[in-house]
Amino acid sequence: MNGAASTALRPALESPRRPARVLATFPLAVYLEVRSESEPHVIALVTGEGIRLPNAVVLGEPLDGIAPGADGWVGDGIVEVGGIGVRVRRWWDPAPPLGPADPVRLWRSHDLLSGIRERSRRRPGLDLAGAPALLASGCRAGSLTDGITAAERLIGLGPGLTPSGDDMLCGLLIALRHFGVATGTPRAVWLADWLAAAVTYDARTRTTPISATLLHCAARGEGSPEVMGLLRGLAGLQPLEPAAGRLLRLGHTSGADIAWGVHIGLSAVLSHAATSNGENS
């Protein structure tokens, strides 16, 4: 069987073969944990209809009859599990650059996203007071103390394979990095670097293996097509409302949690861009 893999998986897939085990199975996805000290630690094997996470190998057909706990192997360009071998034939980019973005347009999109989120019935899985509020205010102010304190409180907070706190942090990190680069706002990229280091330092001991891997991906600006589509919509590269709708429909609360993080990340970038322009005028 052939597959198309995220470039985030190159280190794992192109290394010598290492053992792995199946963490979880779903109708459209199988999650494998690679026994390695390096990231990515978890690989998602998904069908074309599954969510193409930034740590995914996309398959043309489902993997049937594989149970949690089954052994496998990863490396030398192949994933083996349940007696099936998946060879990577193509690669796709989970962090395509936006190119230059106009801050004025982004301000308008920021306000539009607020309205879309309010109209949606999907709500974040956590109360936005407390740590989420501190994270938002800290990022807008450029306070590492507040930002890191809040981020450390959010890691692993909430139920599920990808807890709400982690999803929020993923959206934030991706937005800070991509919009920071797109608007030429180095302060935002600097903030993304520091928060990424804090979040990934001990993620593997504080949250689920799947979520820890997604935090490492987000730290590099890597996300699913739904997340990157929202960023493109905010930048005016595709219609915003359909892109936001696709993201908000993900999971029970994951899409809403990620959208909250993206919204706060964009708000922080625009605040720092305005400050930078004021200092340079």
The string of pLDDT tens digits covering residues 10-58 is 989 999 999 999 999 998 999 999 987 766 689 999 997 889 999 999 9
Mean pLDDT (the chain) is 92
Region 115-132: what's the mean pLDDT?
A: 86
> Which residue, 225, 218, 180, is CA-closest to 199?
218
- The two counts, helices (H) then strands (E), for the chain are 11, 8
| Helix or strand holding residue 139 (H, E) | helix 131-141
pTM of the model: 0.94
Distance from chain centroid for Cα 167: 7
Using N-to-C axis directions, what is the helix angle for 144-154 and 186-200, rounded to 10°?
Answer: 40
Could you tell me the residue ranges of all domains in the chain?
2-92, 103-280
Is residue 265 within 8 Å of 139, Cβ to Cβ?
Answer: yes
Query: What is the predicted pLDDT for the residue at 83?
Result: 85
Q: Around Cβ 139, how many Cβ atoms within 10 Å?
A: 29
Nearest to 185 by CA among 95, 105, 265: 265
Question: Is residue 258 predicted with pLDDT exceeding 70?
Answer: yes
| Bridge partners of residue 18, in order along the sequence | 74
Percent of the chain with pLDDT over 70: 97
Token representation of residue 108: 């308008």
Residues 6+ apart with CB under 8 A from 213: 39, 40, 41, 42, 55
